[in-house]
Structure 1
Amino acid sequence: MSAPDESLKEFFPKYKPPIRPRKNTCVGLGMEVMKKLKVLEKDFPGITKSMMLVSCDENIQDLVDYATSSPGPQGFLIETEKDHVMVAIHIKIGGRHGFVLIYFSRSLLARDPKGNLTAGIYFPLKSKTTEFTMFFDSNSGKQRKKLKFETFLELQKIPDEVVDEVEQCNDQLRLRDGELLSILQRLATIIADDEYMAELLEVNNKIVQLSAGT
């Protein structure tokens, strides 16, 4: 690792993700909100440490079924589709605590004005992750491809057909020319680092345990 910390576990709590001006996703907006709310610390001591980013579902068809059919906290985390992030402040009312929910998948997505997904990539964060899903619109209709990360380890060896599909997805994500291909190459390098992935999964597992209250 290039960071001064000896392990990801030590580095993770200190990392401040960069935020692109005027191009915020829900994550970036949430972090901006948390930054601005810190000025309330003087009037509400402890509010800074109580704030967190939490995951949620943007589109719930049946609220009653969604809220009552889950087989416990762990099942709820696994079976629901967390695709959005918002800010929450941990409070305690009458001795009752809340839980932090997290999103197991990693994604880069584009939506139309109605909020429908139009293009993007996503993959689960788990042991032995080897592939990701990419979807986009082409002249022949909607495309959904499962691609191997190892394909992107060496850019010069990527098949032309795959490069063309990535470029189509790149344009629909409204990224700079070649940006998605560069992102996928960096992801492939990270996924191939077994030592780093083991540390990352350990950190993620601790967050899951905290989220489930175990």
Structure 2
Amino acid sequence: MVEAVVAGAIAFDTDTIGNLDKVDNVTSSASMERCSNIRKLLEEQHRKWWRNQMHGQQEWWADEDSYNLTAFNQINGIWPLGHPLPLPDWAAGCDDEYAKGVLHFDSVWEYEDLNAIIETKLHRMLEETHYDTVNLFVDFYRAFKRTRRSDLKSFFQFYDLPINRRHHMCVSLAMEIMTRIIEIFPVLQHYLYLVSCEEQVMSQSDYIESTDEVGGLNSPHANVEKEHAMVAMKISIAGREGVMILDPGYHIGRAVTVMSDQMYPHTGWFTQSKEPRLQRDYCYNYCLQNKKFVEWMERETRGDEQSFKSSLIYVEQPYVTAIDVTVRRNLVYNFRSLLSRDAKGRVFAGIYLPVVPNCNESHFTLFYDGPNDQRIKVKFMFNVFKNPGKIPDNVQQHLCKLAPQLNMKEKELSELCKSLADVINDQDFIQQLLSINEDIGVMSAEN
């Protein structure tokens, strides 16, 4: 059913502005009214900001198992000789075809309506997806072995990075939540965009000053690795500037609001995870030195002791090398995990492992929810898979309980663990991988 709203020669329909049928768990009259209000708001914004960009057809963002990388404006970065990673890059500027607008709200309650709808989509997505660098790791290894090459570094540079809707890390999770939101409100494709993040920046002043030097963050001298990516959307609430941040890669179940004046609806500090011995709190603010960045602060509390870390999110421009730089960087990282999250972002089941030089010392940890709110957590050496035809009974029992919490069949999980053991036990591959990871770490050490 098409509902037309005419403004001059431009007509808006409900398929272009917002598809209310695709909002999850929206059954109450209040929720439907909220969606209708947002539809009208976006209709007005589209007329105001994108009058000259109406094309009559909607770009597709994802099919059943892949993403349209053109829609996300993803490109390959320049790779200088001797540099361990391609150089990051961003959309050119306000005149660029892929530049994003500022979504304006007349009142806080208008923004709250959209924020609530987006969080509903985010909660559903966190439940339905995994954070998974294990399958990506195994796929990388198998592709390398098929080439019969001996030099991993040269293969790493030419590897065609697989991006699908099954095996997610931060970049594809960011693409997934964008896709799901745009399914409801297609107009938001003009506002949502991928952003880059440099984690645990040692000196914010030095890092930010480098953006003003010749070449800025695009320079090989910037020594950035951009190991994380998320989603941003610039907003204005009654003239007050802000940005919305979505980070499903770190299991954050909130549509975080960052206001320049730090007044409501600014999110401020919130508890991301709380365990008996560790509480982790996050806070996002515009960086005082340069508002092109949002500072992401992390506070860890262990007993009476607290420690702090800061990362910088570059929100000024869309990040166009998220796959070529961030996914590639994470392929050779020395830690792997496969994790299930609930709707609020609690990680309740999974496998994780450090990648260590000596395969005889390689181990993995698996964990899952047990009866009576127990957290079951066990560690095994990878040599339990030395006989590929027989997994020890005690290991298999845990895999049997873990599999359904990972939404996997027991046999599928067992085969994945065996494949992972094959990778970990290939000493030459692991040594080369860790060497590449070290080169990246040395390159970015001053950040």
The one-letter code matched in structure 1 to 2:437 is: N
Could you tell me which residue of structure 1 aligns to residue 146 of structure 2? 2
More helix by share: 1
TM-score of the aligned structures, taking structure 1 as reference length:
0.65
The one-letter code matched in structure 2 to 1:149 is: F
Shift of the alpha carbon at 1:126? 2.8
The one-letter code matched in structure 2 to 1:211 is: S
* 2:285 paired with 1:61: no
2:157 to 7, 13, 27: 13
Shift of the alpha carbon at 1:213? 4.1
User: Contact conserved, 2:399 with 2:410, CA < 8 A, in 1?
Assistant: no
TM-score of the aligned structures, taking structure 2 as reference length:
0.34
1:154 to 387, 403, 411: 387
1:106 to 325, 336, 348: 336
- Pair 1:194–1:31, CA change in 2 (3 A): farther
Could you tell me which residue of structure 2 aligns to residue 186 of structure 1? 419
The one-letter code matched in structure 1 to 2:382 is: F
Shift of the alpha carbon at 1:198? 0.7
Could you tell me which residue of structure 1 aligns to residue 442 of structure 2? 209
2:400 to 157, 167, 189: 167
Q: Secondary structure at the match of 2:227?
A: strand
Could you tell me which residue of structure 1 aligns to residue 367 of structure 2? 135
Could you tell me which residue of structure 2 aligns to residue 118 of structure 1? 348
Shift of the alpha carbon at 1:185? 0.6
- Pair 1:137–1:68, CA change in 2 (3 A): closer
Unaligned runs of 5+ in 2: 1-144, 178-192, 194-217, 220-224, 230-249, 253-271, 273-279, 285-295, 300-307, 312-317, 322-328
Shift of the alpha carbon at 1:19? 3.2
Could you tell me which residue of structure 2 aligns to residue 96 of structure 1? none
Shift of the alpha carbon at 1:134? 0.4
Residue identity (%): 31
Could you tell me which residue of structure 2 aligns to residue 42 of structure 1? none
Shift of the alpha carbon at 1:193? 1.2
- Pair 1:181–1:206, CA change in 2 (3 A): same
Q: Secondary structure at the match of 2:281?
A: coil
Q: Distance in 2 between matches of 1:191 and 1:22?
A: 22
The one-letter code matched in structure 1 to 2:385 is: F
Shift of the alpha carbon at 1:207? 1.4
Worse-superposed segment, 119-128 or 153-162: 153-162
1:153-185 Cα distance to aligned partner (Å, 9 max, x none): 323332222112112212101124422211111
Q: Distance in 1 between matches of 2:297 and 2:433?
A: 30
Shift of the alpha carbon at 1:188? 0.9
* RMSD over equivalenced CA pairs, Å: 4.0
- Pair 1:23–1:4, CA change in 2 (3 A): closer
Worse-superposed segment, 187-196 or 53-62: 53-62
Number of aligned residues: 177
Could you tell me which residue of structure 1 aligns to residue 88 of structure 2? none
User: Contact conserved, 1:154 with 1:185, CA < 8 A, in 2?
Assistant: no
User: Contact conserved, 1:153 with 1:189, CA < 8 A, in 2?
Assistant: no
User: Contact conserved, 2:281 with 2:298, CA < 8 A, in 1?
Assistant: no
Q: Distance in 1 between matches of 2:403 and 2:343?
A: 18
Q: Distance in 1 between matches of 2:440 and 2:339?
A: 24
Shift of the alpha carbon at 1:29? 3.6
Matches within 5 A, 1:193-204: 193-204=426-437
User: Contact conserved, 2:165 with 2:176, CA < 8 A, in 1?
Assistant: no
Q: Distance in 1 between matches of 2:151 and 2:176?
A: 27
User: Contact conserved, 1:122 with 1:133, CA < 8 A, in 2?
Assistant: yes
The one-letter code matched in structure 2 to 1:134 is: L
1:80-126 Cα distance to aligned partner (Å, 9 max, x none): 7x9xxxx9568xxxxxxxxxx96642110000111001100111123
Q: Distance in 2 between matches of 1:161 and 1:109?
A: 21
Q: Secondary structure at the match of 1:174?
A: coil
Q: Distance in 2 between matches of 1:148 and 1:67?
A: 35
State the structure with more CA Rg: 2
The one-letter code matched in structure 2 to 1:55 is: H
Q: Distance in 1 between matches of 2:162 and 2:282?
A: 36
- Pair 1:207–1:62, CA change in 2 (3 A): same
